[in-house]
Amino acid sequence: MKRSLLLLTLLVGFLGLFRPTEAQAQSGERMLLYTKSGKVIPYRVQHLDSIKFLTDKVDLALHPQIAPHPNGTTGAMKLTIGAVGQNVRRISFVLPEAHQVAKMDEYQCLQLFDPEEAARAGLQILEAEGNKQYDLPSMQRGYSYTALFLPYDELGCPGDVTRIQFSVPLGSLKGEPSMQVPFSDVKANGFKAKLIPNGDVKGYFYLCEETNNPARDQKMQELGIPDLKHYIVQFGVDPETGKPYEGVKEKTFSELKKNVEYTLYVVLIDAEGQYSDLYDTFKVITKPKGTSETASCTIEVTEITEQTATITTTPDVNTSSFREAIFPKGAKTEEEMLAYLRDTPETALLPFHTEKRTWVWEELEPATTYIAIALAKNADDKWGPLVQKEFTTKALQTEPKLPLEYVAEYNLNEEGNNFVSTQATDVSGYFTYQEAIEKANKVTIAGANYHLPTQAEWMSIIPLDKSPVDYINFAVAYDQKDISETVSVAGKEVTSTNDYHAAGDGIVYALRYKGTELVSAWRYELVPNDGHRVLKITARPLASPLTITVEDIAKDSFWTGEKEVVRQFPASGMVTSSGSVVFRGSEGYFWSATDNGPFYAWGMFFGDSSSDVGRYMSRLKNSVRLFVDAE
């Protein structure tokens, strides 16, 4: 029987004046949890004796206030908690910027009080008491914040999240921090800049951007960044340290557009850590490039493989800028290719270039003819002729490996440095999710490189949990046809349609990866191996075009052993947080490398009635089955 072991955080509001109630769950029932935020969270319950709801009223009222500090220090704020409800025993609070939580509901705000989630958001969880005042940590001048307060009662149950919005007065900076930025060696495609801060500057952020840049504005909107100053602070750090720049810096900017105004945006930091207003006055215009004659490019294609090609585009002396692309032959007419390069607005995927460029085009189809194209324009912004270069990728020389071939044959041992040698249920190592990441994410065994598979890689072997009827269900008869699935095989995303068939006799058959070169027949069954229960998976490649059905492969006569790949997974159970081994001999649990929040991670499961990829508590100890790295 499939099971999920879950940590339930119940957000219980006012439930009415009823006596305490208890609810009992039978084996295998489903439970729906309706949170105060309106979310519905489903759980599959295996063993749950009872849940008790305490319906007595509690008073967890808070009335905090935040105001500028009386001492007038820039960035200093004073928090007054004031009187609190009679049941308040503890108060936690965090201080995110207003834009960070503007679209968060109460459930999402509540998650910020988990230490791991707070750390991810760059927040510190602070504690307070009623009828007291606190000096808040140094806040940024001119910034808007939303303080979140969470009260707890004597049982440790949280109440409602209280929001207090406030803005920090601008105040004055320490000293007179300033910056000089002289430009030099200005060319059509770049320039040099020297950033010279004075002695009152502790550090600074900077970015060089087109003065008028709609793409940047769109990016800010998508990321929820409220203004250009925040954008510069977030992305304008020293890439070597991840921290603000310090001291005098000289920088050469290249691959820029010709005859375009650029601005070096700067935010200074004073001695007290306060940020200045945005400096947007350091501007420079790149020089024009090319001539008034007809512009053109040459294209050279080298190092052609089954899926890649190296393309070098060289502009002539008349060219001010050019664009390039690649299409399968016949995908577009010459006029359509010309219009694509000429009329498409500039994006990161289709930019303008000014200098000779060499690029490796990847993820091409084998044995396919492509056309590399380029279009140049001169100094008068007049386009030249469309340049084309035709080439054909090489054909694949061997059949592709089936996804099952990437799976190691045995589980990882207790030390995490080698494989066990049998499919016995009592010899494998058990690991928490964090231990699996630390010990097994990258492993070399007997000269071969292995890794802990991601959720998407496990889905290439076992489909995702699809309750109430999983695609791999041993207990009932069913047919599922043309199921679309997207998985990862050898580091590449693969989308295909899949058929599943079962007669309810403990065996499931599947036609997987239809429409791809990985099309194959699969058989899933629970069998004994030297007295130990294992999940046995068999896969066999099929020829294209596909001429058989999933009903055809559900016959014993189909499985002859020819070209079949077999992997077995022992029912080793799991180890609970108390150290007890449970479900050994009946179920198997295997970690993936993909987490699912602070308390859960994805993994593969099989039991009496089904097998799927689902989520499990990361503190439990499961088995590890590695996948070999793609060549």
Cα–Cα distance for residue pair 414/417, rounded to 1 Å: 8
Q: Are residues 551 and 465 in the same domain?
A: yes
Token pair belonging to 368 = 């396919």
Tokens 């999920």, located at residue: 4
For 465-508, the pLDDT digits (tens) are 875 567 899 999 999 999 999 999 999 999 999 999 999 999 99
- On whether residue 545 sits in a domain, the answer given is yes
What is the CATH classification number for the domain harbouring 153? 2.60.40.10
Dist CA 231 CA 220 (whole Å): 7
| Mean per-residue pLDDT, 534-549 | 94
Same domain, 503 and 617: yes
Which of 261, 286, 311 is where one domain is finished? 286
Two tokens, residue 171: 């105040």
Is the same domain home to 278 and 381?
no
> Across all residues in the chain, what is the average pLDDT?
90
DSSP E strand stretches across 190-296: 191-197, 203-210, 249-253, 261-269, 279-285
Do both 325 and 251 map to the same domain?
Answer: no
Domain for residue 131, yes or no?
A: yes
* pLDDT in the model for residue 51: 73
Strand-strand pairing, 77-80 and 133-135 = antiparallel
Residues 458 and 581 in one domain: yes
The tally of domains found in the chain comes to: 4
Q: Which tens digits make up the pLDDT trace of 221-268? A: 888 899 999 999 999 999 999 999 999 999 999 988 888 999 999 999
**Is residue 111 helix, strand or coil?**
helix
Average pLDDT over residues 179-191: 93
What is the mean pLDDT of the segment spanning 423-448? Answer: 94
Judged by average pLDDT, the poorest of 35-44, 207-216, 284-293, 416-425 is 35-44
pLDDT greater than 80 at residue 12: no
What is the mean pLDDT of the segment spanning 267-281? 95
Give me the amino acid identity at 240: E
**Residue 493 falls inside a structural domain:** yes
Report yes or no on 340 lying in a domain.
Answer: yes
Q: Mean per-residue pLDDT for 447-461?
A: 95
Please indicate, yes or no, whether residues 308 and 441 belong to a single structural domain of this protein: no
pLDDT in the model for residue 36: 55
Domain shared by 250 and 333, yes or no: no
**Phi, psi dihedral angles at 403 (to 5 degrees):** -55, -35
What is the DSSP pairing of strand 369-377 with strand 321-328? antiparallel
b/e code 242-275 from CB counts within 10 Å (16+ = b): eebbeeeeeeebeebbbeeebbbbbbbbbebebb
Query: 23: pLDDT confidence band, cut at 50, 70 and 90?
Result: low
Confidence of residue 138 (pLDDT cuts 50, 70, 90): confident
Res. 384 pLDDT band, cuts 50 70 90: very high
Contact 309, 240 (CB under 8 A): no
**Would residue 573 be called left, alpha or beta, if left means φ above 0 and alpha means ψ between -120 and 50 degrees?**
left
Q: Which of 238, 255, 286 is the last residue of a domain?
A: 286
CA gap 390, 184 in Å, rounded:
42
Does 303 lie in the same domain as 374? yes
Give pLDDT, residue 395.
83
Element (H, E) at 92: strand 90-94
Among 360, 381, 383, residue whose Cα is nearest residue 305: 360
**Tokens standing for residue 187:** 């060319």
Q: Are 313 and 374 in contact (CB under 8 A)?
A: yes
Using CA of residue 410, residue 413, residue 419, residue 425, what is the dihedral sign?
Answer: negative
What residues form DSSP beta bridges with 48?
Answer: none
Reply yes or no on whether the pLDDT at 283 is more than 50.
Answer: yes
Q: Are residues 191 and 213 in the same domain?
A: yes
> What 8-state DSSP symbol labels residue 550?
T
With 80 as the cut, is the pLDDT of residue 35 above it? no
Percent of the chain scoring above 70 in pLDDT: 93
Residues 6 or more apart in contact with residue 296 via CB below 8 angstroms: 315, 316, 318, 319, 376, 384, 385, 387
Backbone angles phi, psi at 257, to 5 degrees: -85, 150
Q: Are residues 531 and 491 in the same domain?
A: yes
Query: Mind listing the pLDDT tens digit for each residue in 582-618?
Result: 999 999 999 999 999 999 999 999 999 999 999 999 9
Residue scoring higher pLDDT (630 or 389): 389
Give yes or no for residue 21 having a pLDDT over 60: no
| pLDDT higher than 90, residue 37 | no
Helices 214-223 & 228-235, crossing angle to 10 degrees?
A: 80
Here the contacts of 224-232 (C-beta below 8 Å, separation 24 or greater) are 224/99, 224/100, 224/102, 224/103, 225/99, 226/98, 226/99, 228/265, 228/278, 228/280, 229/267, 229/275, 229/277, 229/278, 230/99, 231/207, 232/205, 232/206, 232/207, 232/265, 232/266, 232/267, 232/278
Tell me what pLDDT residue 11 has.
36
For residue 115, with 0-12 CB atoms within 10 Å meaning exposed, 13-18 middle and 19 or more buried, which class applies?
exposed
For residue 494, tell me if it sits in a domain: yes
Residue 620 burial by CB count (10 A; 0-12/13-18/19+): exposed, middle or buried?
buried
Give the domain-ending residue among 239, 265, 286.
286
Q: Which domain holds residue 135?
A: 62-168
Residue with tokens 């027949």: 521
Residue 74 lies in a domain: yes
Quote the CA–CA distance of 48 and 28 in Å, as a whole number: 10
User: Which one, of 203, 208, 204, lies nearest residue 193 by Cα?
Assistant: 208
Report the pLDDT value the prediction gives residue 30, as an integer from 0 to 100: 76
Rounded to the nearest 10°, the torsion over CA 107, 112, 114, 120 is 130
pLDDT at 552: 96
**C-alpha–C-alpha distance, residues 262 and 214, integer Å:** 13
> Is residue 54 assigned to a domain?
no
**Whether residue 304 is found in the same domain as residue 261:** no
| Highest averaged pLDDT of the listed ranges 11-15, 214-218, 333-337, 560-564 | 333-337
Residues 6+ apart with CB under 8 A from 111: 117
Q: How confident is the model at residue 42 (pLDDT cuts 50, 70, 90)?
A: confident
Token pair 């699996």 is at which residue?
Answer: 436
- Distance, in Å, from the CA atom of 306 to the CA atom of 304, rounded to the nearest integer, reads 7
Cα–Cα distance for residue pair 572/606, rounded to 1 Å: 10
- What per-residue confidence (pLDDT) applies to 38? 58
Both 281 and 303 in one domain: the answer is no
Residue 10 has pLDDT above 50, yes or no: no
Residue 40 lies in a domain: no
Reduced to 3 states (helix: H, G, I; strand: E, B; else coil), residue 255 is: coil
Environment class of 425 (CB within 10 Å of its CB; exposed 0-12, middle 13-18, buried 19+): buried
Residue 217 predicted with pLDDT over 70: yes
CB 526 within 8 A of CB 536: yes
The residues that bridge with 30 in the sheet, in sequence order, are 44
44, 36 contact by CB (below 8 A): no
- Going 400 to 401 to 403 to 406, the CA torsion angle's sign is negative
Query: How confident is the model at residue 33, as a pLDDT?
Result: 74
- Residue 233's H or E segment, with its range, is helix 228-235
pLDDT band per the 50, 70, 90 thresholds, residue 107? confident
Measured CA to CA, the distance from residue 590 to residue 604 in angstroms comes to 5
User: Which one is predicted more confidently, 350 or 188?
Assistant: 350
